[in-house]
A and B are shown apart, each in its own frame.
Chain A
Amino acid sequence: MESPLLLKRLFRVSVLLLILLIAAVFFGISIGSTGSGISETLTTLFSGPEATDPMRHTIIWQVRFPRVILAILVGAALSLGGLVFQALLRNPLAEPYILGISSGSGIGAIIGILAGLPRFPGVSATAFAGSMGTLLLLFVMSSGQTLLKKDTLLLSGVMVNAFCAALITFLMSITQDSRLHNILFWLMGDLSAADLSQVGIVAIALIPCFVLLFALSNSMNLLLMGRELAQTMGLNIKAATLTLLVATSFMVSLTVSFCGPVGFVGLVMPHVLRLAFGPDHRVLVPACIFGGGAYMVLCDLLARTLPDQGEMPAGVITAMIGVPLFILLLKRSG
């Protein structure tokens, strides 16, 4: 018996999940309220605009395509967010949404939106400030160490979330504003606002973070051996921790500023992928990018197509899948 070398494993997992992702993308752009069939989608995709119904062409390329790409990026970023926090805190229940970091950047984003800032860089910057503030609050509350304990972590997260929810309601109450309805929808995590130029901005900002996290994937493996043992294996723990925290908070804040706080993706995907491919982060980081992307595309597809009229926020679907898993994990680790 020989354990396969990393590159071989990486290749196999990536190909498998890429196929899944491509399939998800195909369904994502084929299915919708205008109900174009699969063969029609194929002709639209592979022939020029003059060969097909221009209406269908516009729906696929201008409406669904950007939305699907945004879903991939958001799903990848949130899955990685969960993966990184689970490694940093050595706690399988950690996730940006559960920790309250998403709510923190939510507050920042709402302040930015109410102040009339553009999504990027304005709202993204206030969201980033919000998430860093929450992180700081979490570390002060827990003095760093106790976050490793499950109950302390969860309690801290519940408190931060409660505080943020109150602050958000407070902000919305004092600013009776026509933008209110949009914010309520956005608060549940919603991908409907995508257009191609915005998606381009998100991609340019997120893809370097993905590369950076892949470069740090072996450091995350070492971190799981415990901070002290990791140091004795040559890891510069302060630099690695700081880079991981800042990169992850940046990714999460960016997705929050565009789509609101979408919860539990960072819990579901790392767990499912760890179960399938083992705990090696050098495999899990690319797996989270492709698999998390595919998962978010499918969740958003459900959110678009389940209601007879209109649509629901994608965060509703991810929470309905994520919360039962969370309870299961909590019970099992109890």
Chain B
Amino acid sequence: MMKNVINARQLSYSYGHLRGLEDVSFSVQQGDFFIIIGPNGSGKTTLLKCISGILRPRTGRLEILGAAVQAYSRKSLARSIALVPQTAPVDFPFTVTEVVLMGRSPHLGILGVEHQQDLERARQAMDFTGVASLAHRRLDQLSGGERQRVMIARAICQGPRIILLDEPTASLDLAHQVRVMDLMERLRHEKKVTILMSSHDINLAALYGNRLMLLKEGHVVSIGPPAEVLTFQTLEAAYGCPLLVDKSPLGDFQRVTLVPQKFIDPAIKAGIRRP
């Protein structure tokens, strides 16, 4: 029996009158590549914020590595969970090494004085994500894909058991999307880190995730392996638009295709979309 690293029971969160999450229950097991999908405003980011301790769920129970999230201090939670944000902060001219080293903060004293072994860990993390050659460049002078890999190196350098990623591929071109996703898969296999990611890209989710969760308006629509979650019925219920689901030529993976208005009739005729 695999261990649950995250266990959520009936989580709810609201922004004033706006509902963020409603009765969300799920668990993530050690070594999962768990991907949260769903339309805009479905609660993906809110859920990640609850898990990373930025937001406090209004009701419900959230356990991280067997202990309630409230039982953690900020620092001890930071030693278990790292976050890769959607965009890298580039207002100030930090170098790649400086940003990656900041990941050591939860392990260090108040001044964050880093020692040789911290530098070593930063170097390993930069090697892992392929940004070691950029170590002395400034973050704000890098491309979007490079920045994202720096932010992933920073998360790895934090030494967590779980890494959360908030739509890490949203602003990347195709080559960088694959590179980032491959990196997360290697991280999961080689470093035994559990990956929890939110994504807009259903096809990437189908190719990489071993478990998916589909959210809509703060509710869980479906949860399970990609083949169960990515069906025509669940996707239409969540996204409210016609989608075509078939198998990917790459193997036993779901492939989801958008169906524009002009193709709806032919699609129905072809019998692919059941009316």
Contacts and interface: CB of A to CB of B under 8 A. Distances in A.
> Does B associate with A?
yes
Interface of A: 1-3, 5-7, 90-92, 214-219, 221-222, 224-226, 228-229, 231-236, 274, 278-280, 282
B79 to A, nearest CB: 8
Given A224-B94, A226-B89, A233 B113 contact: no
Contact of B78 (A5, A215, A233, A282): A233
Contacts of A234: 73-79, 105-106
A3 B105 contact: no
Interface of B: 49, 52-54, 73-79, 81-83, 85, 89, 91-95, 97-99, 102-103, 105-106, 110-116, 119, 135-136, 158
Given A218-B110, A234-B76, A234-B106, 8 more contacts: A3-B119, A6-B111, A90-B92, A224-B92, A224-B94, A232-B53, A234-B74, A235-B74
B56 to A, nearest CB: 11
Contacts of A231: 52-54, 74
Given A217-B111, A221-B112, A282-B112, A228 B91 contact: no
Contact of B92 (A92, A217, A218, A233): A92
The 8 closest A-B pairs by CB, nearest first: A234-B78, A234-B75, A234-B106, A218-B112, A232-B83, A279-B92, A233-B105, A226-B89
A224 B92 CA distance: 7
A95 to B, nearest CB: 15
Contact of B95 (A5, A221, A235, A278): A278
A6 to B, nearest CB: 5
A282 B135 contact: no
A165 B148 CA distance: 46
8 contacts: A5-B119, A6-B111, A226-B85, A228-B52, A232-B77, A234-B76, A234-B106, A274-B93
Contact of B111 (A91, A225, A278, A282): A282
Contacts of B93: 274, 278-279
Contacts of B78: 232-234
B74 A278 contact: no
Nearest to A237: B74
B89 A224 contact: yes
Nearest to A218: B112
Contacts of B82: 232
Contacts of A233: 78, 102-103, 105-106, 158
A236 B74 contact: yes
Nearest to B45: A228
Contacts of A221: 102, 112
Given A218-B105, A232-B83, A234-B75, A6 B114 contact: yes
Nearest to B95: A278
Nearest to B111: A218
A91 B110 contact: no
B214 to A, nearest CB: 24
Contact of A229 (B73, B89, B92, B136): B89
Chain A CB within 10 Å — which of B49, B83, B91, B116 has the most? B91
B55 to A, nearest CB: 9
Contacts of A7: 113
A87 to B, nearest CB: 8
A29 B54 CA distance: 53
Given A92-B91, A234-B77, A6 B113 contact: yes
B83 A229 contact: yes
A120 B81 CA distance: 48
Contacts of A278: 93-95, 98
Nearest to B164: A232
Contacts of B91: 90-92, 224
Contact of B97 (A3, A90, A222, A228): A3
